[in-house]
Amino acid sequence: MPEPQADFSWSPPVGTLGQLIAQAERRVRDAEGERDRLEREVARARAPASFAAAIQSKKTVGIVAEVKRRSPSRGSINPRIDAVKRAAEYVDGGAVAISVLTEPEAFGGSIDDLAQVSFGIKLPTLRKDFIIDELQLLEARMAGASAALLIARAMRPARVAELAKAAHDYGIEPLVEIRDEAELELALAIGAVLIGINHRDLESLVIDVNLGERLLPLVPPDRVAIAESGVSSRRDVERLGAAGADAVLVGSVLSSASDARNAVRALTGVVRMPRG
């Protein structure tokens, strides 16, 4: 995998993202004793289904439906959500893949949620978390995830590249999340196939609804472009699809829906538009 060049600038994240990264670092330290065991088990584990292929196989904008209990921006969303039941409803509604938030402190998730969903349904799953270490990728792999989120803003560019390579080595597809042109350049430089464009600034929690329409057309057509955050209606899916999104990741509005099956179905069927 290509190495990023030295001219990618970076400074440590602040605000909410900085706090979440610090908490992730502590959890990694606490779980350090599991590393050797996980490495041995991953070497024997069966390969998961491809997250990218599931999206690319569709002619419509894929819905990546997320299981989420709470968030720093919205507070409580659905604290008693049954992860497997909700994921099954997403499947019935036509979701192309499932995202599971595993961060425990701010989002109320767990690696157990991921494992139960991954082994309880037939769609590819994404580990959505604040991943800063190979140990978290090993956990994701053993929990059956097909993909894992890597937030470009969270780490030095060289570290993003290292974790992307480790993910591939473990049989996981890295979803590199970006918010500007420089981060897109980094994602392309390290060979990322899955590229997420997050409308939400994780440091300030402010959403820029125009970000996707600015960045989506810049993603090469051989990559998979996923728009994240701030998607709540079919009109949003249509707007992002017209800009070139291959899929959209939808969290809060689906996790809080009283009828998750129909909530997903209402977002499906938007024809994908080619980029480039």
Q: Which residues are catalytic?
A: 66, 68, 128, 177, 198, 228-229
User: What are the structure tokens assigned to 275, written together?
Assistant: 């980029």
Give the type of residue at 192.
A
> What is the C-alpha to C-alpha distance for residues 255 and 250, in angstroms, rounded to an integer?
9
Q: What is the 3 state secondary structure string of 182-208?
A: HHHHHHHHCCCCEEEEECECCCCCCEC
Per-residue CA distances from 24 to 21, 97, 126, 178, 261 (Å): 5, 25, 17, 19, 32
147: β partners:
126, 173
Q: Taking the CA of residue 202 as centre, how many other CA atoms within 13 Å lie in the half-sphere pointing to its CB?
A: 23
Provide the residue count of the chain: 276
Q: Taking the CA of residue 215 as centre, how many other CA atoms within 13 Å lie in the half-sphere pointing to its CB?
A: 26
Judging by DSSP bridges, how do beta strands 224-228 and 247-250 pair with one another?
Answer: parallel
Per-residue CA distances from 75 to 5, 108, 110, 272 (Å): 39, 10, 17, 33
> What is the C-alpha to C-alpha distance for residues 19 and 252, in angstroms, rounded to an integer?
21
Per-residue CA distances from 157 to 26, 186, 261 (Å): 21, 7, 39
Cβ neighbours of 205 (radius 10 Å): 15
